[in-house]
Copies of this chain bind each other. A is one copy, B any other.
């Protein structure tokens, strides 16, 4: 055992944002174009509203134009589609995202599939997911959180090829695409979900463990192979009467236990969260560059 690394997503995200800022100015100077991101929020979920605010702020910090549309909880599918179709046509918009989850009366698939794939900066369109899953093809955009996880592994020089990787969670947003990204880099991947028996026996085989179950502190020290690299995607609010707000953010990994076993762990907050937003900015920039043929 040769030391422990706290993977600093906040720092890496900052340096990615700095690079994006330079590219945004360069593009503006040369093409007179500012990348534009449209964010659609339906309803009043506090966490969603706060994610949308963070995305807006991050756009501002790098010079990307952001437009957000906040629609009432009881909006119809047609209301939402109307905005998507108009952003699809709008030449000042290069990326479109719909903040998930949507109110339950709306059909997420119909809405996500309406975003034209060239502006699908969240990478959730089935066509882009299909290109991610298929060997020998590349999607226009890779979903932001999974891309952020892999980017952290790259930036910390974690070898992926030939390693055992275990992903806890199989959602469309995190688990499933991160498993494909790891497999595309030649890891041997196992995906765990709520129907998996004895998950800790499987996680203990992982050289790289990605936790994205949304279960506070689920991954204990005993679940981790000594020396493994652990990426904690979970964002969970748990009650804590010792802090003024009465609640505290924790990940899916019990950090204090994990740091004694793993070689590297991402903290929550300050790990995957900031990387997700940096990847969104990066996808938006890539889209604008590609639409305007700017290298």
Contact = CB atoms under 8 A, between A and B. Distances in A.
Interface of A: 108-109, 125-137, 161-162, 170-172, 176, 180, 183, 186, 188-193, 195-197, 202
A13 B13 CA distance: 54
B130 A196 contact: no
A202 B195 CA distance: 19
Contacts of A133: 129-130, 132-133, 176, 180
Contacts of A176: 133-135
Q: Is the interface of A mostly helix, strand, loop or mixed?
A: mixed
Contacts of A137: 109, 126
Contact of A188 (B125, B127, B195): B195
Among A128, A193, A197, find the residue whose CB has the most chain B CB atoms closer than 10 A.
A193
Given A136-B108, A161-B195, A188 B186 contact: no
24 contacts: A108-B136, A109-B134, A125-B130, A126-B127, A126-B130, A126-B131, A127-B127, A129-B133, A129-B134, A130-B130, A130-B133, A135-B171, A135-B176, A162-B195, A170-B183, A183-B191, A183-B193, A186-B195, A188-B190, A188-B193, A188-B196, A188-B202, A189-B190, A190-B190
